[in-house]
Structure 1
Amino acid sequence: MKELGRTTHLSLIGLIALALLNGKALAQPEPQTQVHRASPHHAQWHTFEGRSGCHLVHEIASVGTALISYRHTDGRQFLSFFARTPPRSQHEGDLYISEPSWGSDRRSHIERLMVHPHQRTLRFSNRTTNRLLDALRQGLEPQFNYPSAHSDQEVKVALTPAAFQNAHRHYIECIDRHERVDAGTASRGAVIPGRTGEAMADSGGGVWEGSLPRLPRGPRADIYFATASDDLTRDAINEIRDFVRDLEDNPHWGVVLSIGYADTRGSPQANEQLARERAQRVRDELVRLGIPERRINIEARLLESDELEEDTYELAKNRRVELRTAL
């Protein structure tokens, strides 16, 4: 009987010890979520000038790219964050302004965010963009948190003020140059080539600080025509409408290039005219849907024999219009 009581007593002690250990385990703080930011020694901000405005870009390796654009037509500024891996569905997140990584851990909550399951994951208004630019100028650090696409943890991203001041100075100079265009005392910059997969004819003269990181790709579409025709089909009109919705949802891209194609069979003059008429027909539909004509450039191209597409779809590649965008 004594032995039984002793065994029971030891069992109780063991259970109590196990409970205490479990309690300690439960009391352990969760590991802090990593804040993704460029280190002060490797941070880069770049300024470049496009035909429709001025741009600041900051890349955070493996996470995404922040793009700030000044739009010449209305003087508005927009900041967007293009995540490498957007969330799978729409969520809410939070925007903070904090001390930089080498300062204290104080931060202020600015606003709730809508987080989109698209390449352009975070979108800031003109008012908020100006506030964040002010913070960066003061050496502070905008931070935004949003749900991860792969786990229950949050993604935390910070825009470091390191290396910002010099790039921002060039950005302000670019804005000043654009504002002086209307007075006839300066010429507007050219579109930066290769940013959306399509180099443009007047691509010289862009000004930027350092070598540009790879920028997000802008809206694009391919519009197909019937053989020897420049009439828009119902499918073509729907494709153009989708492109316009995408363009309106991406205010950074101010230039639209409508490139008409035809092959070299038959008269080159007739083919070039057909390619141009197709591009013009697409431009007219874009204007009808609300895109200002001044934003649209027209090109006509003839495909050489080594580029001709021989397939059962009546050489569709040779009777299309490419819609491409540039900053």
Structure 2
Amino acid sequence: MLAVQAPSIPIPLPSPVPFPETSEILPTDVPVDANDHCPGTESTLAGKTDACEGCPNQSVCAEGPKGPDPDLPLIRERLSGVQRKILVLSGKGGVGKSTFTAGLSWALAADEDLHTGIMDIDICGPSIPLLTGLENSTIHTSAQGWSPVYALPNLSVMSIGFLLPSKSDAVIWRGPKKNGLIKQFLKDVDWGELDYLVVDTPPGTSDEHLSIVQYMKETGIDGAVIVTTPQEVALQDVRKEIDFCRKVGIPILGVVENMSGFVCPSCKNESQIFKPTTGGATKMVEELGLELLGKVPLDPRIGASCDEGKSFLDEYPDSPATGAYLDIVQRIRELLGDA
């Protein structure tokens, strides 16, 4: 297995704009030789937390001046043309979060008057390029910065998957390098004018999640959509993700229960694959005071469409899953005041 180490990724970008050096990828407030979980030199906790013990920068950080991240104004300017910013979260892997992100974005882009972007910050498991039919695409640059790749004239995508020499290459990075690349996706990508920017996140509540909240705090996050499946093993982690959102101040638009029953494409009968032994998402949202945006049933054709990089909604408009997606998208737009 190939270990990808910044800055040695051979990126197919035109000269004279190579993939940035390590000092450019790392966040400006995290030293290159910092310990894991470094709070950053600008933090009031710099040099004072348990994570700082033994770090060669500890004394300098503790005594050094504090101040705002100088890149935040650049991010604010770059995202000034983005009207709505939506995070898709789960906490649990394997619940179909990236599939839902792609489906949500395809549905939004079905309106040719709406311009939608997808930012894939699942650094170690980027699947959005495959789901949008862009697996063999590369990033180009211009005077305005990195240009996203377009799945449709009104659907743009940015992912580390476009930067890897092979789709089988593993990205083995610690937190600071991941965080630095996320910052670049925000400040160096020419997103242009967007009605919606949908951010696909990895499972958990760790570095990538904290970074996207930190870097977008001045531009604002309009809301999060939480994706789960019916069984309790998924709901446990989803509850942690909901708690994360509340602690960092991200408004939660609602919860989507994915893989909610199986609908046979032939007979249209529905059966339970993942039995909701504790009441599923319906019970959970009642307990936590959230809205259930909808339930998306399993349809084996969804997987086939994803593998082919096509919009399931366009391929199978009569599927109950398509109807569920469209209802959920309509509800999200209503909650945001856009419908």
Greater C-alpha radius of gyration:
1
Please tell me the TM-score bracket, short chain as reference. Answer: 0.3 to 0.5
TM-score between both structures, scaled by the size of structure 2: 0.31
Bigger proportion of residues as helix: 2
TM-score normalised by L of structure 1? 0.32
